[in-house]
Amino acid sequence: MTVSPVSPALRSVPAASWPARAAAPQAMRHPAPFTLHGTTVPDDFAWLKAENWREVLKDGTALPAPIRAHLEAENAYSAAHLADLGPLRETLVREMRGRIKEDDDTVPQPDGPFAYFTRYRDGGQHPLVCRERREGGEAAILIDGDKEGEGRAYFDLADAAHSPDHARIAWSADVAGSELYTIRVRDLATGRDLEDEIRATSGEAVWCADGQHFYYVEVDENHRPARVRRHRIGDAQADDVLIYAEESVGWFVDIDETTSGAFVLIRISDHETSETWLVDRADPAAVPRLVAARTPLVLYDVEHHGLDLLIRTNADGAEDFKLCVAPVAHPERARWRDLVPHRPGTMLLYQFAMGRHLVRLERENANPRIVVRDIWTAEEHAIAFDEEAYSLGLDPGYEFDSGTIRFTYSSLTTPNETWDYDLATRERRLRKRQAIPSGFDPARYVTRRIQALAPDGESVPVSLIHRRDLALDGTAPCLLYGYGSYGSSMSASFRTNLLSLVDRGFVYAIAHIRGGTEKGWRWYLDGKREKKTNTFTDFVAAGRALASAGYTSEKRIVALGGSAGGMLMGAVANLAPELFAGIVAEVPFVDVLNTMLDGDLPLTPPEWPEWGNPTEEGAFRTILAYSPYDNVRPLAYPAILALGGLTDPRVTYWEPAKWVARLRAETTGADPILLRINMDAGHGGAAGRFDRLEEVALIYAFACKVVGLA
């Protein structure tokens, strides 16, 4: 699809004036101050948090009537305010859908006599889990996501794990957006589900070698993954055997398996510290065996090869992680010895073992690379790439003794490519290149990485893409994306949707701010707890650097972030409102202080290592100083669009609702403050791939409007 270039005159139009609308909903103020550490904190909109919030997260129909009426009024107000964007939104959806190959599938991944893959049918919203004979032939649909989701307002097909004998598949789905997954078991000979039904799980299933048992993680009454159980086919859930129970409320529990297939891994972590237990997959009656007891601030994860465990860890001062080896029989810390030593500035991200090789993913200066090591000779080589900024993914596959690995590659201007790589010959075989049915010419675009100077002198990487013929004279609008929490790095990967903005003259940029690990673990540590404000000032610095370099200018930037990135949006709205034409905050974590004080909420205790526990005065002072909701004050805020989900267990609906209410009460400007709550979904928004386009189109249309391009 070709989009006509935007004229320089149109690009220079100032932010649109918003037409007069009906009065915005005004949330009632019910003073509910609390005092802690000698400081009184006002919370006039606390009433928007339903007292029966646990029931609401499981089933949105439990929402009390006064709160429902308020949220529906907010939705109606936003719909009316954005009604004139209807034609643009429809155009954007058509454009974005035109770039999707609707009957697409993944490259089949072999496992024994079969190869497994996912597929979408033409017009289908949800994936189909399929397999074919290894040598090829007609594919069989094992799980039909469209059929299972038919008639549901929300449906998310999560895990689909086939048994080692290929006779059954354990699959899980969430039908409310609350991330409470039900696991079912399908007999692949008949295509029918067995009577086994396991509710309130995290969704993952790991089979025992016998194909008659599998492990799963049970969610507790506060929505936290806390217990590992073993299920035997045909048994009732009440009879499932408890394998591991985490008694402390501050830890996450999940499960996985080693690439070798020898062990189930039970992993416990809290962002700063971790612990792993091994369970023998060959023995359905096996009990977990501890690798190494949790030690404060020591993280590690485990792979397996032969008589050894391969352990990625930050122990012994290895800030950016190193790789150790230890005997399976005696894996305690005292037995760990270095295999790949720590190299400051080179972040060791992930590793897995194959029959003869060890493969790892590293990152340096915000770009990843793959390194292959011959286990027997210790010879290493890297798989190289040329672009300034790009994204890599690794897939070990199902077969341990394979001599081939699969990786994916893309950049902001290179559609996703799937490659098979021969570990012995070092030959690459392109298996698939992402198709763009409406057409895509990478020569029309430019991708760059620039550096922004933070207030404390740090250099912040910024990846960007724009049309090659765009005049870099400061008149172009910019959509600036950021996250900056939990050590998550934002990859410079190909995104077909953003072309709808870039083709209209936008610069799209990703700020690789502190709180992520783009520049190593220190980059993360320098953006958390008492140093959290570095995340916010880095983002502002990125925006100003883009303006100084002529890519855009102040009041031509639209900021975008979600979840913890939504907290970033709230913080920069308070810090530098003059920089932005608009701000979009998806499921924004903006009520940080109140949330971190409520130990009953699903994620609060496990999140204290990330943000701090405000029952301690130091953490209280730090959080109170930046918490977006608590720092709203009389300012000329830019136009703001906040998006939330009613059944979201991560960032509860009342966070954006309270934030918008306070913003609207305090702003001294004329730009609108809008809230839209998806009454049928949770943290991830709409689950269907085309339904999600409607949400993206709303965000993009809003961005166009606030810079005068609607």
**Helix (H), strand (E), coil (C) string for 667-707:** CCCCCCEEEEEECCCCCCCCCCHHHHHHHHHHHHHHHHHHC
Give the pairing type, strands 347-353 and 357-364. antiparallel
- Whole-number pLDDT of residue 366: 85
In sequence order, what DSSP letters do the residues of 285-333 get, joined into one string? T---EEEE---TT--EEEEEETTEEEEEE-GGG-TT-EEEEEESS--SG
Instruction: Indicate the pLDDT class of residue 17, thresholds 50, 70 and 90.
Output: low
Give the residue-averaged pLDDT of 134-148.
95
Instruction: Indicate the pLDDT class of residue 3, thresholds 50, 70 and 90.
Output: very low
CB proximity list for 151: less than 8 A, separation 6 or greater? none
Half-sphere exposure of 602 (CA within 13 A, CB side): 21
* DSSP 8-state symbol, 556: S
Q: In the chain, pLDDT over 70 holds for what percent of residues?
A: 97
Query: What pLDDT, in 10s, does the model give residues 223-237?
Result: 999 999 999 999 999
Query: Which residue type sits at 56?
Result: V
In sequence order, what DSSP letters do the residues of 514-546 get, joined into one string? BTB-TT-HHHHHTTSGGGTHHHHHHHHHHHHHH
Query: What pLDDT, in 10s, does the model give residues 63-113?
Result: 999 999 999 999 999 999 999 999 999 999 999 999 999 999 999 999 999
Rg, Å, the chain Cα set:
25
- Whole-number pLDDT of residue 19: 66
Please say whether the beta carbons of 133 and 113 come within 8 A: yes
- Whole-number pLDDT of residue 15: 44
Dist. CA 130–CA 63, nearest whole Å: 39
Strand partners, 311: 302, 324
Dist. CA 34–CA 40, nearest whole Å: 6
What percent helix, strand, coil does the chain show, rounded to 5? 25, 35, 45
Dist. CA 674–CA 74, nearest whole Å: 7
Give the pair of three-digit tokens for residue 175.
């039908």
* DSSP 8-state symbol, 344: T
Query: What pLDDT, in 10s, does the model give residues 481-499?
Result: 999 999 999 999 999 999 9
Give the pair of three-digit tokens for residue 99.
């770039």
Give the residue-averaged pLDDT of 35-51.
97
Please say whether the beta carbons of 479 and 703 come within 8 A: yes
Order the strands of the 128-133 sheet from edge to edge. 109-111, 114-119, 128-133, 140-144
CB proximity list for 276: less than 8 A, separation 6 or greater? 265, 266, 267, 268, 290, 291, 292, 300, 301, 302
CB proximity list for 123: less than 8 A, separation 6 or greater? 102
Residues known to be catalytic: 563, 648, 683
**CB atoms near residue 59 (< 10 Å):** 12
Instruction: Give the CA dihedral 412, 413, 415, 417, nearest 10 degrees.
Output: -80
Dist. CA 61–CA 35, nearest whole Å: 34
Q: Examine the pLDDT at 688 and tell me if it is beyond 50.
A: yes
Give the pairing type, strands 128-133 and 289-292. unpaired
Q: Say how far residue 235 (Cα) sits from the centre of its chain.
A: 35
Q: In the chain, pLDDT over 90 holds for what percent of residues?
A: 92
| Selection from 386, 394, 397, 390 nearest residue 449 by Cα | 390
Residue bearing tokens 């991708």 = 447
Q: pTM for the complete prediction?
A: 0.95
Region of 680 on the Ramachandran plot (φ > 0 left; ψ -120 to 50 alpha; else beta)? alpha
Average pLDDT, the chain: 95
Give the residue-averaged pLDDT of 176-187.
96
Give the residue-averaged pLDDT of 676-699.
94
Q: Say how far residue 219 (Cα) sits from the centre of its chain.
A: 20
Helix (H) or strand (E) holding 501: helix 499-502
End-to-end CA distance of the chain: 19
| Selection from 359, 360, 357 nearest residue 349 by Cα | 360
Instruction: Indicate the pLDDT class of residue 1, thresholds 50, 70 and 90.
Output: very low
Give the pairing type, strands 580-586 and 557-562. parallel
Dist. CA 644–CA 26, nearest whole Å: 18
Give the residue-averaged pLDDT of 260-284.
97
| Selection from 528, 518, 413 nearest residue 462 by Cα | 518
Instruction: Indicate the pLDDT class of residue 155, thresholds 50, 70 and 90.
Output: very high
Helix (H) or strand (E) holding 243: strand 241-245
Q: Please report the sign of the dihedral spanned by the C-alpha atoms of residue 185, residue 187, residue 191, residue 193.
A: negative
Give the residue-averaged pLDDT of 450-468.
97
**For the chain, counts of helices (H) and of strands (E):** 14, 37
Give the residue-averaged pLDDT of 271-286.
96
How far apart, in Å, are the Cα atoms of 580 and each of 385, 466, 603, 610? 35, 19, 31, 28
Dist. CA 111–CA 116, nearest whole Å: 7
Please say whether the beta carbons of 50 and 63 come within 8 A: yes
Dist. CA 345–CA 365, nearest whole Å: 8
Residue 433 burial (C-beta neighbours within 10 Å; 0-12, 13-18, 19+): middle
Residue bearing tokens 């039908």 = 175
| Selection from 278, 347, 266, 272 nearest residue 312 by Cα | 347
Please say whether the beta carbons of 708 and 10 come within 8 A: yes
Q: Examine the pLDDT at 479 and tell me if it is beyond 60.
A: yes
Query: What pLDDT, in 10s, does the model give residues 317-358?
Result: 999 999 999 999 999 999 999 999 999 999 999 999 999 999
Dist. CA 514–CA 456, nearest whole Å: 12
Query: What pLDDT, in 10s, does the model give residues 628-684?
Result: 999 999 999 999 999 999 999 999 999 999 999 999 999 999 999 999 999 999 998
* DSSP 8-state symbol, 359: E
Dist. CA 637–CA 538, nearest whole Å: 20
Give the pair of three-digit tokens for residue 527.
């953006």
Instruction: Indicate the pLDDT class of residue 4, thresholds 50, 70 and 90.
Output: very low
Please say whether the beta carbons of 460 and 512 come within 8 A: yes
Q: Examine the pLDDT at 700 and tell me if it is beyond 90.
A: yes
